[in-house]
């Protein structure tokens, strides 16, 4: 009997055969820890994906429910001795769910708006942001929150509302210049992914990143034509659009002719590092994608290569560090952010219990699975409180929004900062 | 065993949900499917229900229902077991204890903790670690396996060489008996009165009842730990070094052996620092007082060198030590990098027979055209030959099973045992006559009957089928009164 | 006993190995004389004797060195004493495996002598080593001070052979140090007092003999301080192999029998043992000195090795006649229980002596019955109150030694609760005719 490779609608899930059912992943899976149900564990989901590919099982309601509950945090990959490429497997499964079970008209419209319109078109996203800013600045948001109207919205919508970041003023949402020269001895030329949501909501992070890179001798190019990297689409099962977004991104950054592509949002970084695998079956793109992926670096990875260039001003405060999933599990970056924080004079770093556990943000998970996201957030916030830290440092906008919301709800005055914000402070920013 | 009709199943589901709440009962075949195996995929069985109790009262209510309905039931922890021990009989109820995972109490002064069965083994050590304590039994799956599961299997681990296995660390158990009664065996004091019910319950593989609260000892972390890695060009040298260490009057905390194939897999997985070209390596750990530990380490190093080690080094810091142990403890899972499936054997032999038995294992596996990786508790003589195979290749699974049986026979021949820590479960039930006579098994069966007279609590495990027992039966046996009355079955 | 049965016994083991009449005097327990004592020389003879006794419905009392013969409640019918002292061979000792297999009737001292030749020992130090047999020690779950570090019989017995009530020879466990095949029968038989089967052979786990061992005594003016010291010791890095806590009366008894001994006149003393390589022992002894200086200890001194075997009997040795009760409590409750128990006795005008394996919470209390003039009611009342102390500590108390009348009044065993019902079911399964040591054990098993 010849063995035919296992696929789900053309996407290889052959990786399921690497799972030997040892179960070492179980206790590292946030959903399994919360629910204790095997279907909501990595081992159980791998089993289901295998059963789907083999035709032993079909996408019934429970199967969709359990597969959709996966955060795609990839903590299981860190734990797995067998090297199961779990992230790829679950993305294939989610893509299959979207094909077979696109849901009702409202859900489809919502997805189209998110994945097709907003993420695909930076201008549209900026326009939406302007509207949002108006909603907040006008006092309408405060009114809505007071009115209790939110609690009557359907689950995902109320989660959206609660998460809405305080959007910066238009001036802070302005794009970065296309080129920023290095200060001091030049170390190299790097290109920055400004991110789609990032550039709108957290423009300050990009500016901080740019300043720190310049201080550390990096010449920075910011390709103005860049769009979304497609990570959210891939995680959400929108495989086709994820492919075209990847190709566009590769094209834009190749033209920048930089030594490295620097990313300060974890989901994007992890996804772009996986372009090689994503486009492996496309002969026209496989090689380019592999080369591109090899040049992608998280900001902490790049900066930790050498001691930070001084002078650094003291930042006398106690902080704790939350590992974004797609930094620690997706890119296996654990030491670097801590090394960087340790270089800031006066700063005390307290280790966060379960620092590398998902906070529940997980891309758009907190919108699609608000209940589980809330449980994980409560767990995270509880740990933050136990450290007594004045600020949580992390490295991903989704985590920042999520943890901020959790702390706000508990009435905690604890700041949530991007790693680059702390470093920028140390540089006197 | 009667199959449940759809109507009956619906009614029972409603009743179970009434007891446990919504979201605590699974009966959809798609959801039950993921519960068809534990860590050993060779055996599969589907339950009628998987339920998630949250208290002893919940467990008791479910067990009483099963008792009333004549439905078999079995408790399940993380499902990392390697003998099929937590598989349902075809049909019946699986009680997943994963939602009973709290540490209920820690008493540092008296060095004990009260925990629920679904608590992950390692999480107890995490909990008490900041105060300088730990829970000693450390099965390699300790990052996932539960203490309840450890109770069922009397789990061991690398450090049981010095510190003993699970049974040496349990003081008390709250147990739901197979008729649903909630009973305490032992308590918090070191002694208990009467027969050692804890002693027999621990390791009874879930056939005596379901533990719902567990009182365990926690130990002070040793003042100092020293981890030595000895590298050998020949497996025989490594085997000889194990006996040499013991012969020099040392009792290390752990002596683990890891062979070349396994080293390759764990290096691929985590890059732990084992030399890929070694035929075998020994991981030896000493712990205890800081003073004197150097002297003892020197004796270990000398024993290894005198046995032919080409390199002996000491872990320079805690990080290196942790990495070496991570490699050792992840070894089973890492076989996934070199083979789509493996079957782990769990034989125990007198450690002086190590060189002979390892040679025999290789011969047997070769003869069946298979590959084997060895990673095991050499100090205890507890072997883990892992036979690698591809379940998609016709006939390979059967060859693995045959080779496994031959290896078990070799262990029995040298005066060993067929399981050191994984349990008998379904997998090794038919091997029991290799080491036990019909009379031995009959006495065990009576003991089981005292706890589990209806036989509904985890049926089909531990004891061999009638056929294989008959083959071995050379010892005269007189039927027990209860058998004559038809109350107990002979196997 | 019917002459025909006696004749059969003689034919099984040989006439010289069957005792009757006046020869039975060593086997009289609490005034009850057995019908015969029989000493088989092989396992097969044991099997034949048990089978015969079962058929004839004669109770069988397994007998090793007789050191625990008075434990529990004596059978109403003393039946047949089955002596195991002829089964005394070391079957196998493989130093490289750290295991030995030995027949049940060998004394502990004789076994230790054999093991010592190869630098090893069985890490169990029950009282009366020269009389106590291996089988008896396991059947009675006897232990000594070194259980602090090395555990008890259940931690050391890895395999055994028993003859069942129906005359079957059954093996449990094995001869490897780690084994989970089948149910743990060795555990079932440890401490079963011959009520489930006759242990005829044991396989035990061994340890290398430590290079060095020292026993250190520390005196205290207050029991409370000694208790606090135990707590500090357990929380420290030290790894003592024994932590014995004695009250003033026990200490005086220990001192009287072997001068010079630790701090006479103190109201409590700790005797702490250490073993290992010489460096480790020396360091621990000096650390102990430092530790007790902060907790009110004084007069720290090393005591001779001959003190070891007398430690466990110190409380009982305090009085010419006494009732001895064993209380099981949590380690932190030991000193309080000792103080409280002593006061209760004093309050009723009675003297008592106390000692404990303090680190494991096992307390031995003896109540003086010096001249036999004590009111039985008062004795029973004190012993019941002591049992109350143990229960108050979520433990229990067993009356190890006492005149039959006191045993009957107080009850030897504590209430076994629901677990007792399981024990009873086990007994009924394994010994349905109730032949083995009937009535001796917990819950009238």
Q: Give the range among A107-121, A392-406, B431-445 with minimum mean pLDDT.
A: A107-121
Closest CA in chain A for residue B394: A1
pLDDT in tens, B141-192: 999 999 999 999 999 999 999 999 999 999 999 999 999 999 999 999 999 9
Residue A340 CB burial class (10 angstroms; 0-12, 13-18, ≥19) = buried
Final residue before a domain boundary, out of A149, A169, A189 = A169
Q: What single DSSP character describes residue C96?
A: G
Question: Residue B394: its chain A contacts at CB < 8 A?
Answer: 1
Report if residue A346 sits inside a domain.
Answer: yes
Rounded Cα–Cα distance for residues C427 and C444 (Å): 11
Between residues 121 and 150 of chain B, which touch chain A (CB distance below 8 Å)?
122-123, 141, 143-145
Rounded Cα–Cα distance for residues B293 and B289 (Å): 7
Report if residue A1 sits inside a domain.
Answer: no
Nearby residues of C445 by Cβ (< 8 Å), 6 or more positions away: B194, C195, C423, C424, C427, C439
- Please tell me which of the candidates B28, B120, B141 has its beta carbon nearest to residue A62: B28
Chains A and C touch (3+ CB pairs under 8 A): no
A128/A181 same-domain check: no
**Cβ–Cβ below 8 Å for C239 and B423:** no
Q: Which residues share a beta bridge with C243?
A: C272
Q: Where does A102-238 have alpha helices with state H?
A: 105-111, 122-137, 140-147, 155-163, 196-201, 203-215, 231-235
A26/A90 same-domain check: yes
Which of B315, B316, B307 lies closest to B248 in space, CA to CA?
B307
A57/A140 same-domain check: no
Interface test with B, best of C73, C158, C165, C181 (most B CBs within 10 A): C181
pLDDT in tens, B107-153: 999 999 999 999 999 999 999 999 999 999 999 999 999 999 999 99
CB-side exposure of B351: number of CA atoms within 13 Å? 29
Chains C and B touch (3+ CB pairs under 8 A): yes
CA distances from C218 to C225, C264, C268, C310 (A): 11, 11, 9, 17
**Cβ–Cβ below 8 Å for A36 and B80:** no
Q: Is the pLDDT of residue A157 over 60?
A: no
Q: Give the mean model confidence (pLDDT) for residues C287-307.
A: 94
pLDDT in tens, C324-377: 999 999 999 999 999 999 999 999 999 999 999 999 999 999 999 976 677 889
A80/A123 same-domain check: no
Closest CA in chain C for residue B163: C150
Confidence category of residue A237, pLDDT binned at 50, 70, 90: confident
Q: What is the separation of C-alpha B171 from the centre of its chain, rounded to a whole number of angstroms?
A: 19
Rounded Cα–Cα distance for residues B81 and B93 (Å): 18
Report if residue A329 sits inside a domain.
Answer: yes
For residue A2, what pLDDT is reported? 47
Question: What would be the CATH architecture of the domain defined by B103-220?
Answer: 2-Layer Sandwich (3.30)
Q: What count of other Cβ atoms lies within 10 Å of the Cβ of residue B405?
A: 16
Rounded Cα–Cα distance for residues C219 and B88 (Å): 60
Q: What is the separation of C-alpha B357 from the centre of its chain, rounded to a whole number of angstroms?
A: 22
Residue with more model confidence, C311 or A140: C311
Nearest chain B Cα distance for residue C226, angstroms: 15
pLDDT in tens, C255-295: 876 554 556 678 999 999 999 999 999 999 999 999 999 99
Report if residue A310 sits inside a domain.
Answer: no
**Please, where in chain B does CATH 3.30.43.10 lie?**
6-96
Confidence category of residue A166, pLDDT binned at 50, 70, 90: low
Which of B74, B67, B23, B68 lies closest to B48 in space, CA to CA?
B74
Strand pairing class (A391-394; A218-221)? unpaired
Contact (Cβ atoms closer than 8 angstroms) between residue B221 and residue B133: yes
Nearby residues of C36 by Cβ (< 8 Å), 6 or more positions away: C1, C6, C9, C18, C19, C20, C24, C80, C81
Final residue before a domain boundary, out of A240, A273, A303 = A303
Fold of B339-413: Alpha-Beta Plaits (3.30.70)
Between residues 397 and 436 of chain B, which touch chain A (CB distance below 8 Å)?
none
**Is the ipTM of this structure higher than 0.95?**
yes
Which subunits count as partners of chain A given 3+ CB pairs below 8 Å? Answer: B
Which subunits count as partners of chain B given 3+ CB pairs below 8 Å? Answer: A, C
Domain, as residue range, for A250: 172-303
Report if residue A308 sits inside a domain.
Answer: no
Rounded Cα–Cα distance for residues A373 and A31 (Å): 10
Rounded Cα–Cα distance for residues C306 and A265 (Å): 73
**Please, where in chain B does CATH 3.30.465.10 lie?**
103-220
Full-model pTM: 0.92
For residue A101, what pLDDT is reported? 80
Counting the structural domains of chain A, the total is 4
pLDDT in tens, C72-124: 887 778 899 999 999 999 999 999 999 999 999 999 999 999 999 999 999 99
For residue A119, what pLDDT is reported? 62
- Please tell me which of the candidates A23, A26, A62 has its beta carbon nearest to residue B30: A62
Q: Is the pLDDT of residue B280 over 50?
A: yes
Q: What is the separation of C-alpha B389 from the centre of its chain, rounded to a whole number of angstroms?
A: 22
Question: Residue B482: its chain C contacts at CB < 8 A?
Answer: 429
For B6-96, give the CATH class: alpha beta
For residue C265, what pLDDT is reported? 72
Q: Give the mean model confidence (pLDDT) for residues B381-385.
A: 96
Contact (Cβ atoms closer than 8 angstroms) between residue B104 and residue B33: no
Final residue before a domain boundary, out of A272, A303, A334 = A303
A29/A85 same-domain check: yes
Q: Where residue A64 sits, what CATH number does that domain have?
A: 1.10.1060.10
Q: Is the pLDDT of residue B491 over 70?
A: no
Rounded Cα–Cα distance for residues A12 and C191 (Å): 61
Fold of B224-333: Alpha-Beta Plaits (3.30.70)
The beta strand positions in C233-283, using DSSP E, are 242-247, 268-276
pLDDT in tens, C187-216: 999 999 999 999 999 999 999 999 999 999
Nearby residues of B291 by Cβ (< 8 Å), 6 or more positions away: C279, C280, C283
For residue A145, what pLDDT is reported? 57
Q: Which residues share a beta bridge with C397?
A: C327
A88/A176 same-domain check: no
Q: Give the mean model confidence (pLDDT) for residues C145-174.
A: 97
For residue C263, what pLDDT is reported? 61
Question: Residue A47: its chain B contacts at CB < 8 A?
Answer: 33-34
CB-side exposure of C343: number of CA atoms within 13 Å? 8
Q: What angle do CA A114, A119, A120 make, to 5 degrees?
A: 115
CB-side exposure of C251: number of CA atoms within 13 Å? 23
**Please, where in chain B does CATH 3.30.70.2740 lie?**
339-413
For residue A136, what pLDDT is reported? 63
Gap between the terminal Cα atoms of chain C: 23
The domains located in chain C, with CATH, are 3-83 (3.30.43.10), 90-208 (3.30.465.10), 212-311 (3.30.70.3450), 316-417 (3.30.70.1130)
Report if residue A249 sits inside a domain.
Answer: yes
């Amino acid at each position: 009997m010849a063995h035919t490779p296992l696929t789900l609608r053309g996407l290889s899930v052959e990786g399921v055969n690497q799972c030997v059912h040892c179960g070492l992943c179980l206790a590292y899976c946030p959903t399994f820890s919360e629910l204790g149900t095997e279907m909501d564990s990595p081992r159980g989901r791998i089993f289901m994906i295998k059963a789907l590919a083999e035709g032993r099982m079909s996408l019934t309601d429970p199967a969709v429910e359990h597969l959709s509950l996966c955060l795609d945090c990839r903590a299981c990959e860190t734990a797995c001795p067998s090297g199961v490429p779990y992230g790829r497997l679950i993305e294939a499964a989610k893509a299959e769910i979207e094909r077979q079970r696109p849901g009702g008209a409202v859900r489809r419209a919502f997805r189209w708006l998110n994945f097709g319109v907003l993420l695909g078109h930076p201008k549209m996203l900026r326009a939406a942001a302007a509207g949002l800013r108006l909603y907040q600045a006008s006092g309408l948001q405060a009114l809505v929150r007071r009115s209790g109207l939110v609690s009557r919205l359907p689950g995902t919508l109320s989660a959206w509302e609660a998460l809405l970041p305080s959007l910066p003023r238009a001036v802070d949402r302005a794009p970065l210049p296309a080129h920023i020269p290095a200060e001091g001895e030049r170390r190299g030329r790097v290109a920055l992914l400004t991110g789609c949501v990032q550039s709108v909501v957290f423009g300050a992070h990009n500016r901080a990143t740019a300043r720190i890179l310049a201080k550390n001798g990096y010449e920075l190019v910011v390709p103005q034509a860049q769009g979304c990297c497609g990570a959210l689409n891939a995680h959400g099962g929108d495989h086709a659009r994820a492919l075209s977004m990847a190709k566009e991104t590769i094209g834009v950054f190749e033209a920048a002719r930089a030594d490295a592509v620097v990313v300060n949002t974890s989901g994007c970084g992890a996804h772009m590092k996986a372009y090689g695998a994503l486009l492996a079956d496309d002969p026209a793109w496989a090689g380019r994608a592999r080369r591109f992926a090899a040049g992608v670096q998280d900001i902490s990875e790049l900066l930790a290569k050498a001691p930070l260039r001084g002078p650094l001003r003291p930042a006398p405060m106690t902080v704790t560090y939350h590992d974004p999933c797609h930094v620690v599990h997706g890119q296996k970056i654990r030491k670097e952010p801590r090394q960087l924080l340790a270089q800031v004079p006066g700063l005390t770093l307290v280790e966060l219990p379960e620092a590398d556990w998902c906070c529940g943000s997980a891309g758009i998970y907190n919108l699609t699975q608000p209940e589980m996201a809330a449980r994980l957030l409560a767990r995270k916030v509880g740990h933050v409180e136990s450290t007594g830290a004045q600020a949580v440092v992390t490295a991903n906008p989704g985590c920042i929004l999520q943890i901020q919301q959790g702390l706000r709800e508990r009435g905690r005055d604890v700041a949530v900062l991007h790693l680059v914000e702390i470093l920028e402070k140390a540089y006197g920013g | 065993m009667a199959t449940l009709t759809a109507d009956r199943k619906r009614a029972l589901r409603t009743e179970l949900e009434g007891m446990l709440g919504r979201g605590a009962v699974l009966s959809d075949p798609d959801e039950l499917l993921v519960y068809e195996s534990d860590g050993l995929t060779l055996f599969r069985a589907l339950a009628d229900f998987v339920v998630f109790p949250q208290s002893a009262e919940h467990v008791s209510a479910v067990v009483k229902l099963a008792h009333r309905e004549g439905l078999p039931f079995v408790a399940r922890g993380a499902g990392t077991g390697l003998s099929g021990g937590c598989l349902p009989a075809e049909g019946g109820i699986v009680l997943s204890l994963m939602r009973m995972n709290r540490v209920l109490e820690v008493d540092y002064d008296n060095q004990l903790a009260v925990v629920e069965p679904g608590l992950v083994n390692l999480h107890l050590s995490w909990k008490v670690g900041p105060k300088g304590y730990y829970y000693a039994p450390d099965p390699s799956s300790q990052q996932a396996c539960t203490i309840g599961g450890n109770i069922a299997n009397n789990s061991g681990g690398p450090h049981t060489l010095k510190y003993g296995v699970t049974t040496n660390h349990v003081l008390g158990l709250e147990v739901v008996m197979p008729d649903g009664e909630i009973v305490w065996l032992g308590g918090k004091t070191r002694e208990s009165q009467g027969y050692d019910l804890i002693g027999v319950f621990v390791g009874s593989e879930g056939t005596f009842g379901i533990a719902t609260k567990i009182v365990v000892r926690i130990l002070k972390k040793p003042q100092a730990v020293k981890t030595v890695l000895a590298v050998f060009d020949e497996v025989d040298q490594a085997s000889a070094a194990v006996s040499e260490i013991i012969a020099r009057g040392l009792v290390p905390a752990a002596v683990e052996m890891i062979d070349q194939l396994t080293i390759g897999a764990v290096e691929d997985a985590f890059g732990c620092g084992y030399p890929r070209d070694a035929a075998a390596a020994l991981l030896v750990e000493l712990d205890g007082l800081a003073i004197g530990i150097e002297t003892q380490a020197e004796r270990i190093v000398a024993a290894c060198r005198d046995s032919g080690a080409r390199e002996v080094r000491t872990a320079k810091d805690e990080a290196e030590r942790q990495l070496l142990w991570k490699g050792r403890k992840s070894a089973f899972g890492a076989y996934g990098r070199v083979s789509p499936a493996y079957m782990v054997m769990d034989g125990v032999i007198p450690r002086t027979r190590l060189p002979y038995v390892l040679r025999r294992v290789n011969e047997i596996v070769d003869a069946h055209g298979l590959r084997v990786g060895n990673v095991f508790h050499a100090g205890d003589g507890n072997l883990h030959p892992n036979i690698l195979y591809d379940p998609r290749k016709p006939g390979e699974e059967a060859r693995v099973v045959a080779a496994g049986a031959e290896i078990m026979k070799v262990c029995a021949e040298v005066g060993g045992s067929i399981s050191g820590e994984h349990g008998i479960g379904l997998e090794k039930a038919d091997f029991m006559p290799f080491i036990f006579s019909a009379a031995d098994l009959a006495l065990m069966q009576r003991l089981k009957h005292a706890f589990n007279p209806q036989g509904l609590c985890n049926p089909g495990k531990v004891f061999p089928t009638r056929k294989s027992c008959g083959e071995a039966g050379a010892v005269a046996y007189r039927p027990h009164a209860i058998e004559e009355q038809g109350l107990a079955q002979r196997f | 006993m019917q002459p025909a049965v006696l004749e059969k016994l003689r034919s099984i083991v040989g006439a010289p190995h069957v005792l009757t009449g006046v020869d039975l005097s060593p086997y009289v327990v609490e005034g009850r004389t057995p019908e015969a004592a029989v000493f088989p020389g092989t396992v097969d003879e044991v099997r034949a004797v048990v089978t015969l006794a079962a058929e004839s419905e004669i109770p069988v009392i397994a007998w090793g060195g007789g050191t625990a013969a008075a434990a529990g409640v004596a059978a109403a019918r003393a039946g047949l004493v089955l002596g195991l002292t002829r089964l005394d061979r070391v079957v196998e000792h493989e130093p490289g495996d750290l295991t030995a297999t030995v027949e049940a009737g060998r004394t502990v001292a004789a076994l230790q002598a054999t093991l010592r030749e190869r630098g090893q020992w069985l890490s169990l130090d029950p009282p009366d080593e020269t009389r106590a047999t291996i089988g008896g020690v396991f059947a009675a779950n006897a232990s000594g001070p070194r259980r602090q570090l090395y555990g008890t019989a259940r931690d050391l017995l890895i395999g055994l052979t028993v003859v069942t009530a129906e005359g079957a020879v059954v093996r449990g466990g094995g001869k490897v140090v780690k084994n989970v095949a089948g149910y743990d029968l060795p555990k079932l038989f440890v401490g079963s007092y011959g009520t489930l089967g006759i242990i005829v052979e044991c396989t035990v786990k061994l340890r290398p003999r430590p290079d060095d061992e020292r026993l250190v005594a520390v005196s205290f003016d207050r029991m409370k301080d000694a208790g606090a010291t135990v707590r500090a010791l357990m929380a420290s890095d030290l790894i003592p192999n024994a932590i014995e806590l004695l009250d003033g009366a026990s200490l005086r008894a220990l001192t009287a029998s072997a001068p010079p001994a630790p701090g006479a006149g103190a109201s409590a003393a700790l005797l702490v043992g250490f073993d290992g390589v010489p460096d480790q022992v020396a360091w621990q002894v000096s650390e102990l000195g430092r530790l007790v200086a902060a907790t009110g200890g004084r007069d720290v001194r090393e005591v001779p090795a001959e003190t070891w075997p007398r430690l466990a009997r110190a409380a009982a040795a305090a009085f010419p006649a006494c009732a001895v009760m064993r209380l099981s409590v949590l380690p932190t409750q030991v000193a309080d229980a000792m103080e409280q128990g002593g006061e209760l006795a004093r309050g009723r005008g009675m003297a008592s002596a106390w000692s404990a394996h303090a680190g494991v919470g096992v307390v031995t209390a003896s109540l003086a019955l010096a001249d036999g003039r004590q009111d039985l009611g008062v004795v029973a009342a004190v012993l019941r109150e002591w049992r109350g102390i143990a229960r108050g500590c979520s433990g229990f108390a067993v009356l190890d030694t006492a005149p039959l009348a006191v045993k009957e009044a107080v009850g030897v065993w504590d209430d076994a609760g629901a677990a007792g019902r399981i024990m009873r079911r086990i007994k009924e399964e394994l010994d349905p005719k109730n032949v083995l040591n009937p009535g001796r054990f917990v819950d009238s098993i």
